[in-house]
Structure 1
Amino acid sequence: MDPQNSTNDVNAEENMLLTHARTLRIHTGNLVNRNRLKKKCPSSPSEELRDCIQATLSDWLSMTKPPSEDLTDTLDCSVPQATDVITPEEREEVKVSVKLFLCDPIQSSIRDAVELGCQTLAVSQLDSVIIAPPALVEGDSLTLAHLQPTWEELETLVRSQRIAAIGTSDLDKDLLEQLHTWAQVKPSSNQVNLASCCVMPPDLTAFAKEFDIQLLTHSDPKELMSAAAFQEAVQEGTQDLNVVDWRLEWVLRYSIIVKSRGIIKSKGYLVSARKTNP
C-alpha cells in the first residue's frame, strides 16, 4: 500500500470524526506520570495547557479506530493508560482541588464541568472548586453583578453535595467583602496573583483573617487560553484539520493531593469546546 494513500485515509477518518462532532472533550490524564509533552518544564500554565491539548489529541487520534456509520456528536478524547481515577479505598486519604476557568458565561458550563470532573476522577464530590470568571472586555471592571450568576450555580452544586467548598480568584478586599455579604454559601478561599501583587494587601489579609477565608497565591494569566491559541493547539494535534468553528467553553484543572503528606499525586486538565456552526 502506498504510504501516502494510507496517510490520506487516516486524515479522512479524522476529518469525518471532527466534522460530525458538535462537542469536543479532552482529558489530559495524570501529568505527574506523563512524559510526552514537547517541553519538560512549560514556562507558563498557558503553555502547559497548549502542549497538553496537542499531545492528548495526537495520541488519541493515533489510537482511534476508523469511525463506524454511527458517528457521535461528542468526542471524548483521552488516553486510557494516562488517566488516573480515585479508588473508594483511597478517597478519604486524598483531597480533590479544582480551578475552573470559564471561557463562556453560560451557567450550565459550570455544572457540566463539575459533573465531568466527578465522573472522570470517579468521585461523588469535589473537595474544593475555585472559579475564574470569563475575561471581561478591556476597560471593564469585575463587579458583584458579574459574579452573582456564577456563584449561584456554585451554591446549587454545594447544596447537592457535588462540591464541598467554593472559592474565588483575584478579588480585592472590597469585592470579596461584597460577595461574602451577599452570598448564602460563603467563599472559603481567594486566590491572589503575586505577579501583579508582590505582597498581600493588608486590608485583604485582615478581612480574610476575620472571616476565615484562606488566601492562596497563583500564577495564572487573566485569560488562560485565547481562542486562537486553542485552535492552534487543536490544529497541531489533529494534523492541520480545519478547526476555526471550535470555541473553547471551559478548562478544569484538578489536583489530587495526599492529605497526610501534602504532595500532589495527580494533576491534569479537562477541556470542553463546542462547534459554533451547525
Structure 2
Amino acid sequence: MLSHNLLVNTGNILSLSEARQKASQNSTDELIETLKIILNDNQNKGDGTIVINGKEDTSLQDVDRKDLKITVKVFISSPDVHSLKEALDQTFKTLNTNVIESLVIAYKSDEEPENMLSSLKKIWSAVEEYIKVDKLSSVGLSDINTNIFIELFQWADIKPNIVQINLTTCCAVPPALQEFTKENDIQLLTHSDSYEILPQEMLEGIFGSTAHLRWLIRYQIHLKCRGILSSKGYLLYINKSSFKI
C-alpha cells in the first residue's frame, strides 16, 4: 500500500473573486468552494508530502507585524498531541510569524465526559508549552460542555481565557457558563461553524475515498488600527492511501 500526505494551503481566499461573490455562505460551504477553486488534477502519486498552494498573499508584505492581529481556529478530532503541534507549527511557518494572538481549539469527539476531559487535558498540556514561550496569547476552546470546561479550567496551570459557543445549535448561553466566564474574566464568544466543518463524505468527494483529515486550520489576519480583515485562509493536512498492484 502506498500512502502520501497532502498539505493544502488555500492562501488568502479574500483574493479569490469566486469566493468573494458567495460571502453569505457558511464556513463549510466556503471551504468546499475554496478547495474546488484551488485544487487541480495534477496531484502527484507516491510516498511523501505533497503541498498544494493557493494564490500567494502579498497584501501584508509591507505592513508592520505589530499592526496585525492573527486569530486561528484549529479543528481536530483526535487528542494526538503530535498532530496538534504539527498544525500549530505549520501555521507559524505559513504565516511567517512567531506569535498568534488568539487561538481557539475545536475538538470534535463523541467520547464520554470522563474520556473527553482526559483528552482535553492532553491537548491543553501541549497548548501550555506554546503559551510559556510566548507563542500564543489568548487561547480557548469551542463548543465544550460547561462542567467539562470548568473542570479543565480548575485543573490547568495556565487557564483558558476564551470559550466559544455555537448559537445556531444552542439558542441561549447556559447560565452556569455565563456566570463562570464573568467571574473569571473569560471571553465568551459565539460562532456559526458547522459541528463538522469538513464532513467525511465531502472530504472523500474532493480527495478520494481513502482520504483522512488529520487537522484543519482557519486563520484570519486583521489590521488592528482599523479592525479590517485583510487575509483569511485555510490549512489542511490530509492522509491518503492506495493499494499498489
Question: TM class by shorter-chain length?
Answer: 0.7 to 0.9
User: Contact 2:3 / 2:241 at 8 angstroms: preserved in 1?
Assistant: no
Aligned partner of 2:108 among 131, 134, 139? 134
Aligned residue pairs, count? 242
Cα distance, 1:173–1:79 mapped onto 2, change above 3 Å = closer
**CA distance in 1 between partners of 2:142 and 2:33 (Å):** 24
Letter in 2 for 1:41: A
Query: 1:145 Cα shift?
Result: 1.6
**RMSD after superposition:** 2.6
Query: 1:174 Cα shift?
Result: 2.1
| Structure with the larger helix share | 1
Query: 1:216 Cα shift?
Result: 0.4
Residue 64 of structure 2 aligns with which residue?
A: 90
Letter in 1 for 2:107: P
User: Contact 2:2 / 2:242 at 8 angstroms: preserved in 1?
Assistant: no
Residue 76 of structure 1 aligns with which residue?
A: 51
User: Contact 2:14 / 2:20 at 8 angstroms: preserved in 1?
Assistant: no
**CA distance in 2 between partners of 1:156 and 1:179 (Å):** 16
Query: 1:189 Cα shift?
Result: 0.4
User: Contact 1:169 / 1:191 at 8 angstroms: preserved in 2?
Assistant: yes
Larger Rg: 1
Letter in 1 for 2:117: L
Any gaps of 5 or more consecutive residues in structure 1?
A: 1-18, 235-242
Query: 1:30 Cα shift?
Result: 0.9
Residue 119 of structure 1 aligns with which residue?
A: 93
Letter in 2 for 1:44: N
**CA distance in 2 between partners of 1:210 and 1:88 (Å):** 41
Cα distance, 1:71–1:221 mapped onto 2, change above 3 Å = closer
TM-score (norm 2): 0.88
**CA distance in 1 between partners of 2:213 and 2:235 (Å):** 12
TM-score (norm 1): 0.78
- 2:17 is paired with a residue whose SS is coil
| Structure with the larger strand share | 2
Residue 218 of structure 2 aligns with which residue?
A: 253
Q: Which runs of 4+ in 1 moved over 4 A?
A: 84-89
The Cα offsets for residues 118-175 of structure 1, whole Å up to 9 and x where unpaired, read as 11111111112100113326xx447422311111111112223332221111224322
User: Contact 2:79 / 2:120 at 8 angstroms: preserved in 1?
Assistant: no
Alignment of 1:1-278 (within 5 A): 22-37=4-19, 40-41=22-23, 43-58=25-40, 61=41, 73-81=48-56, 83-84=57-58, 86-87=60-61, 89-136=63-110, 140-141=112-113, 143-234=116-207, 243-276=208-241
